[in-house]
Structure 1
Amino acid sequence: MALAPFIWVQLFTVITATPILDTGITNNVKKASSWKEVDPPDSNHEPHRQQGDTVVSRVAYTAVSLVCISLLAGMAGFRLRRMNTNIFKRLGCCQYISFVLYVFVMAFVSSAAILVSGLGVSSSAHICSAAIQLCLTFYCGSKMLMYMFLIKRIHALRAPYRRRFQDWLWIVNASLVFLGFGTIAITGFLSPLSGISPEDGMCRIGLRHYVTIPLLSFDVFINIILTMVFLYLLGPVIRLNNFAIPNLHISRVATWLGTHCQNSQGHSIELRAANPHVAKRVEKLLLRTFAGSCLVLPPTVGNLTQLLVLRGRDLGFVCLLLCSCDVTWTVCVFHWLSVSSEPDPKTSLVSVPCSGFTRSKAVPQS
């Protein structure tokens, strides 16, 4: 994420250095100004094949980017509408991550739209190279923000009233995310694949195998690890409070983990079912988190797999289009996970930040 300003500066440099009129267009204008130089078309002459970006590619990405920006703006506006004017003074870590992710992905879609629809991703080798750097920076950055939200939710469930740097599980998970995605992103920056194809004049971009394979493997690995940790911590809660749903396999897995992992009982927070709403919130949180992990993973696997199969021969606008759809879908799932119900004023429970749970107040003994 720290490389995003560098990418924008490089993009601005490319914009200012790119001439508005191409030499080919200038020559055509000069020829068109003198009607005597125009020869009648030859019927035996082969039809001219268009080089570079086509109208279809520009229109397709413009339409997709408008849909993505509309969805992102709508979700961000929905979050802002639910807040009052004084809530910004007491925003938690998860709320900050939410707004940063919205702005981050909107910046990516807007920047990619400038490259594809404005400048033309195939207009020069510099713009083509900026496309893969832009995609890699914002793609890894959005994934890091998404996983940091899940890590914060795990911390809120496991130790809500302890500082993050005092929780070893938070330190381990955060280190894995930052070091893993950071190392892979830096390696991808050092050796990207980009260039203008001499056959059709289209921008071809991609990543090398020693970048794509670790990125795909690490994304799947960290997703599975965080999901298992979440189920591991929810196991004792479901088992002790009888929140399990008999016909649901997720509840069976969480109950099995909580039963066979004795240490999770000591680290989980104590939840009291003061009213039926608490049980419903626990069930919804379990289902949403598990479903969210399953919904985020398939588009990511598909996107990275096509990069692996094409071996750096992916069309530039197609790669940016798929990355835009992928990160927008990630934000949609993230929005679905993070938006919680309004607190019930009738309950005497204290809200646990980011977890979606409530915790009973401690009554001092006389």
Structure 2
Amino acid sequence: MDNGASSPELPQQATGPDSLEIMSELVSLACLTIMASALGAKTKRERLVNLTYGRTLVFLVYILSWAFSVTSMVSVSTNNFNYTSCTLAMMSCDVFYAGSKIVMYAWLIERVHLVTAVRTTRLKSWQYRFHIVLLLPYVAIFVLMLTFRNIYLLDTGECIIGLQWVASIPLMCYDFVLNLYLTYLFVIPLINVSRSTTCRSTWKETRLYKLTKRTLIASLVCLLVSLANVLSVVITRGHMRGLVCLTCCTLDVTINVVTIHWTHTIDD
């Protein structure tokens, strides 16, 4: 019996994934394969008794990046018309993606210590302690990321996530300045050696020179990739389709893993 009241119309759900979803899932699958191969190659040669602090950081970068890629791939295939999945996608960015960045910074700081203070322990090095303090502002930025974020569904069911300017701009500035500063610290030893005619030929053959040069490249890659990724969030004002945001971040962490894996082979 019709009582004159009409029930609200629910949005019509899509019958299948669109082209962007398929592309995103293929990218995620390729990235997962690359990271799993890197992690497998690394663990095959490692023993717990030989696990140093620097190598532990490398494993943490691998694991956090892999965890982010897994959760983002699941979210991409489920977040249409699903606010819970959309929220989990944003939480994955806040936890796994941001966590991999923090560990990446810690790894670069460790590399700076190896290059500039070879015979000094970490806790006795004022430079190392200062660099660890430089990571503390990320705590405030993390709070901003949790507070000022966008999570909503369009009428078409598409998941939209991102950071508002009050969170994305401080993140971009901090990320750029810290990466640029760490990159500068690797440039200085190379410049000093290039100016020295006495030790140039011998030092270029040492393991320390190769470590410095490779880490400089890793730092530059981290700088450019992170800047491009965060800049896209700023430009879109935090209103980016979830699968696009997750795919960009997946590519970001995968490039970092590949770069670290190539850089860290000099220790093996």
Q: Where on the TM-score scale, by shorter chain, does this alignment land: which range?
A: 0.7 to 0.9
State the partner residue of 1:82: 45
- Give the letter for the 2:45 counterpart: R
Larger-Rg structure: 1
- Give the letter for the 1:210 counterpart: V
**Is it true that 1:227 corresponds to 2:190 in the alignment?**
no
State the partner residue of 2:232: 306
Cα separation, 1, equivalents of 2:228 and 2:245: 12
Asked if the contact 1:52/1:201 (under 8 Å) is kept, the reply is no
Number of residue pairs matched by the alignment: 260
Question: 1:71 offset after TM fit, Å?
Answer: 0.5
State the partner residue of 2:28: 65
**Following superposition of structure 1 onto structure 2, how do residues 46-65 of structure 1 map, counting pairs within 5 Å?**
51=14, 54-65=17-28
| Structure 2 unpaired stretches of 5+ | 1-8
Per-residue CA deviation, residues 167-193 of structure 1 (Å, 9 max, x unaligned), is 11111111212x122221121101211
- Give the letter for the 2:68 counterpart: F
Question: 1:316 offset after TM fit, Å?
Answer: 0.6
Q: Provide the aligned C-alpha RMSD in A.
A: 2.6
Asked if the contact 2:150/2:161 (under 8 Å) is kept, the reply is yes
**Is it true that 1:96 corresponds to 2:96 in the alignment?**
no
- Give the letter for the 1:298 counterpart: L
**Is it true that 1:127 corresponds to 2:85 in the alignment?**
yes
**Is it true that 1:152 corresponds to 2:110 in the alignment?**
yes
Cα separation, 1, equivalents of 2:188 and 2:175: 20
Cα separation, 2, equivalents of 1:146 and 1:192: 23
Asked if the contact 1:65/1:109 (under 8 Å) is kept, the reply is yes
Per-residue CA deviation, residues 99-134 of structure 1 (Å, 9 max, x unaligned), is 1111111111111122222xx112322321221121
Match of 1:218 among 174, 177, 189: 174
Match of 1:186 among 120, 143, 152: 143
Per-residue CA deviation, residues 195-248 of structure 1 (Å, 9 max, x unaligned), is 0012x2211111010111111111110111112222334555555574548xxx
Normalising by structure 2, report the TM-score: 0.86
Asked if the contact 2:229/2:248 (under 8 Å) is kept, the reply is yes
- Give the letter for the 2:72 counterpart: A
| Structure 1 unpaired stretches of 5+ | 1-22, 25-47, 246-272, 343-366
**Is it true that 1:337 corresponds to 2:258 in the alignment?**
no
Match of 2:245 among 319, 332, 353: 319
Normalising by structure 1, report the TM-score: 0.65
Cα separation, 2, equivalents of 1:53 and 1:161: 60
Structure scoring higher RCO (CA < 8 A, sep ≥ 6) equals 2
In structure 2, relative to structure 1, the CA distance for the partners of 1:149 and 1:138 (3 Å cut) is: same
Asked if the contact 2:80/2:159 (under 8 Å) is kept, the reply is yes
Question: 1:140 offset after TM fit, Å?
Answer: 1.6
Question: 1:149 offset after TM fit, Å?
Answer: 0.9
- Give the letter for the 1:81 counterpart: K
Higher helix share: 2
